[in-house]
Structure 1
Amino acid sequence: MNAGFGRIGMGSFVKSGEDLSRSGSAPRIWLKRALLGLLAVIIIGFTVWMLMPPSEGNVAQSEPVKLQLATVGPTPTAPEVPTAEAAGLDRLKISSQTWRRGGLGSKALVTFTVRNDNDYAVKDVEIVCAFTRRDGSHLTDRSRVLADSVSMKSRKTFARIPVGFVNVNADQAICSLVTARRA
């Protein structure tokens, strides 16, 4: 005995006593969906990979980068340009420094104290931090220019200054002063 409830809500798709026909088998439909999803993941992954900048942490270096002090004045190829005078770094030093990770462990936050023993104030202090592994091998260098000024014959502490992204294997940081200008 058939009460005809199997056709409720089907409208004209199901005639009396017929089953709903399928266009294909279930494994074939799932296979098509899986291949389409895999193709979408490959295209998105390739696009993201092409847009990423090259990383410096993956390049092996035989020795750390040597830094030179910047000089202001005439060079053989260029005439002297009126700029702020470079400060003497012999009386400017970092007296204490520490670092920690921030930004989910990918950024380096450096805290250090700059001591100025000069007879003039300095500004635009540039630091470079060299990051090494636990075994002492060099990983990467990061630099930062600090726009604040340090008064004459004084010291100033810069707390949690972000110097950039660091390798996850970085264990130690050594920061040094590169340049500074007279204020």
Structure 2
Amino acid sequence: MGTRLDRIRLERFAGAGERLARAVTAASVSFGRGLLWLLAAIIVGCGIWMLLPLSKGNTTEPVKSDLKSDLKSDLAAVEPATPGDAAAAVPPTAEAPASAELDHLRISSQTWRRGGLGSKALVTFTLRNDNDYAVRDVEIVCAFVRRDGTPLTVRSRVLTDTVSMKSRKTFARIPVGYVNVNADQAKCSLVAARRA
């Protein structure tokens, strides 16, 4: 009689396991089908949303801008016509007295390198002041180009340091901003300066 009770207990246990396995299988199949239907509904909804016309409040005309010509005009404004003609580098919005301070002020040497995981430009240059007075608030503009000469980025920076009269000062690793990853060369020019 003891073996018969053991056999009944095992049959009940086996029957419960089979019922549980069937329930789990049925639930997973229905859950998988539900996920497939949800994915199909999302795809159809996105497709319909993309095909709907925009309302009048949300319509925007695409801005057509020739970036290459814009950068070339910026570079033309930055680079002097001749090496000694620094007044040509002053944009039309700059003040007239600022160009007077640029007469005997020039960048004698310059280099640049990448910083900030390769996205920022760090410029090192030597500023030479041949004036009879000190200058401060020197504004520089750096134009970055590709290896083939195609303009990419133009960045400006105002340096608040003072450069004494008849002297030179080296500015090391000055961050001028984010640059395009394709930038290969940089050319910095003076734009404005004030008497100290």
TM-score relative to the length of structure 1: 0.66
Q: Which runs of 5+ in 1 are unaligned?
A: 8-13, 40-57, 74-84
Alpha-carbon distance between aligned partners in 2 of 1:179 and 1:94, rounded to the nearest angstrom: 13
Partner of 1:60: 68
Which amino acid is 2:168 matched to?
Answer: R
1:148-174 Cα offsets, whole Å, 9 max, x none, are: 111111111111111111111111001
Which amino acid is 1:3 matched to?
Answer: F
Q: CA RMSD in A?
A: 3.3
Structure with the largest fraction of helix? 2
Larger radius of gyration: 2
Which amino acid is 1:32 matched to?
Answer: L
Pair 1:173-2:186 in alignment: yes
Partner of 2:95: 71
Pair 1:127-2:127 in alignment: no
CA positional deviation for 1:6: 4.7
Pair 1:147-2:160 in alignment: yes
The DSSP-based 3-state class of the residue aligned with 1:24 is: helix
**Percent identical:** 58
Matches within 5 A, 1:34-49: none
Q: Which runs of 5+ in 2 are unaligned?
A: 1-10, 47-65, 78-88
Count how many residue pairs are aligned between Structure 1 and Structure 2: 147
Pair 1:136-2:149 in alignment: yes
Alpha-carbon distance between aligned partners in 1 of 2:40 and 2:159, rounded to the nearest angstrom: 52
Distance 1:19 1:113, change over 3 A: same
1:81-105 Cα offsets, whole Å, 9 max, x none, are: xxxx765212111111100111111
CA positional deviation for 1:4: 6.9
Which amino acid is 2:67 matched to?
Answer: V
Which amino acid is 2:95 matched to?
Answer: T
From 26, 30, 33, give the equivalent of 2:32: 26
